[in-house]
Amino acid sequence: MVEITFYAAECMEFPEQMGELHENLTLPEAVDVYMWICRRNRSYGPGIGFVLQDGNIPDYSGTKWPLYQGRGIAQDMIDLIPAYRDHPLVKQALEDMKPHLEKLEGERKEGRGMERSGGLGR
């Protein structure tokens, strides 16, 4: 079965070792959890990522990968992996993310998110 799920992490660099990680979410759920994490005044570089399950790309299936972090969509990171860049579910996720950008940009402008503290409480 081919599917994509989303996660929200308090730390995108080390999502499973540092801070909170909420997995197996829909994209709207991941956006809400990301915003909740940002409002809690802790900041280790939060973000939203995806996990693509596709047996046709075994090297990349089941891997956590960023979708949104820092200042916007993580297009550069997605483009690093042609299997992600060209996959229809990832392309759809990028499209589905666009309506959420205004809300996420508002969080960033209010000083919430990783830019606020410089990360790691600095």
Tell me the average confidence (pLDDT) per consecutive run of 10 residues in the chain, 122 residues long.
Answer: 96 91 97 91 85 97 95 94 98 96 73 42 31
Q: Give the bridge partners for 3, in sequence order.
A: 53
pLDDT for the residue numbered 107 = 63
The vertex-47 CA angle with 46 and 49, nearest 5°, equals 145
Q: Give the bridge partners for 68, in sequence order.
A: 48, 73
Provide the whole-model pTM: 0.85
* Structure tokens that stand for 36 in this block: 């909740």
Domain regions of the chain by residue span: 3-114
Q: Are 12 and 55 in contact (CB under 8 A)?
A: no
Distance of CA 24 to the CA centre of its chain: 12
pLDDT for the residue numbered 119 = 38
